[in-house]
Amino acid sequence: MEQKHFFVAPGSITRFFSKPVTTLLLALSLSAAALSHAQTSPSAAITATVRGLPDFADLVEKVGPAVVNIRTIEKRDPNAAARSEAEDPMAEFFRRFMPRPGPMPSPNGPRGRGGSPDEIPRGVGSGFIITADGYVLTNHHVVQGADEIIVTMTDRREFKAKLIGSDERTDVALLKVDANGLPRLSFGDSNKLRVGEWVVAIGSPFGLDSTVTAGIVSAKGRETGEYLPFIQTDVAVNPGNSGGPLLNLRGEVVGINSMIYSRTGGFMGISFAIPIDEAQRVYEQLRTSGRVIRGRMGVGIAEVSKEVAEALGLPKAAGALVRNVERGSPAERAGLEAGDIILRYEGKPIERSSDLPRLVGGTKPGTKASLGIWRKGVPKDLVVVVSEAEPDRAARASAPRSAPGATPSNFLGLMVSELSEERRNQLRLRGGVQVDAA
């Protein structure tokens, strides 16, 4: 499934700023000429600047073959669809005036790329091969709900992929194709990334295979309301890039492209990638057991504000404020109380409240973990025995995958709700919302 919050006319390509760029280049040339007496060899300075820019050609040639296109298909019951259309007066309207995107099938011919009338293309995404025997990483939201997953390589070979496991909370999924001797990518260290460092994304935006874009790391540890500390970049990421690799200049994967920030539905220069260190931990569990096991303590937490820190005598606003302790939980047995501030977990500082769930979630159930807390102005040490989180507790809330500030669903003064998957299929839509009130 492709990324959320986009609407782009299929096949449309727009050229921007062709004339202004020419004018700008002329202005720069005139400025350089005017300063030629004040500076030594301006052309040499410009050449030196250009020489300082990275050349991505060798990197892309090396790693490109390991990046794949992922196509997902949903199978439906044609009899059920026909009955629904006969009963629904709106179905004929959508059939006539809002046909499905993509190639138009002949009355008795296949749908799209070799499909059948009973198959609905769900979307296009990206992924990358991490082992020579065919393990592929991508996003959870790319393959979620798919009945069939097709992996296409740059040499046009196609494989049906098996879903080994998928983790909604981190938006990571692991696939397996039946092949050997495949090109693969190596994991880098996302912790060593520096703000301002060059990075490259390869993927299939809008289904355009093997598209390369580049930019810099804009920020690290960016909190977006999700479970992870995202890598923020200015690399152009569009629908279809989801699940593709974010690479450093050594050709190592440092992130998985996952989502963008947008007020308009289009790319605005802010994109987010899942740190590969987090994704690697998920991959190892998915490969071993097909699911991710997380630890839990059983506390509700909040951010420590400056006012709270001053009131409690903390030297700075840091840590996780305990709002409530679940009855019978590991936290209660450890002696945690509402109002405590957790400053350290297993010796690691808790700078923000969001640091704690990641650390606890990554702890093996049954582990005795040390806690450094602040209680009524006094530091205190506790030990908690981490338990296993239930799947529903570990799952992330099913909110749209958009960063804060994205356009709200009721910005036109309409009360709307999400269309169910069944309803979208009945109306032959790939997306949209249902108007509940105006």
Which residues are tagged catalytic?
Answer: 141, 171, 242
Bridge partners (DSSP) of residue 271 are: 233, 260
**What are 375's two structure tokens?**
């209680």
Show the 3-state SS of the chain. Answer: CCCCCCCCCCCCCCCCCHHHHHHHHHHHHHHHHHCCCCCCCHHHHHHHHHHHCCCCHHHHHHHHHHEEEEEEEEECCHHHHHHHHHHCHHHHHHHHHCCCCCCCCCCCCCCCCCCCCCEEEEEEEEEEECCCCCEEEECHHHHCCCCEEEEECCCCCEEEEEEEEEECCCCEEEEECCCCCCCCCCECCHHHCCCCCEEEEEECHHHCCCEEEEEEEEEEEECCCCCCCEEEECCCCCCCCCCCEEECCCCCEEEEEEEECCCCCCCCCCEEEEEHHHHHHHHHHHHHHCCCCCEECCEEEEECCHHHHHHHCCCCCCCEEEEEECCCCHHHHHCCCCCCEEEEECCEECCCCCHHHHHHHCCCCCCEEEEEEEECCEEEEEEEECEECCHHHHCCCCCCCCCCCCCCCCCCCCEEEECCHHHHHHHCCCCCEEEEEC
Q: What angle do CA 340, 396, 304 make, to 5 degrees?
A: 25
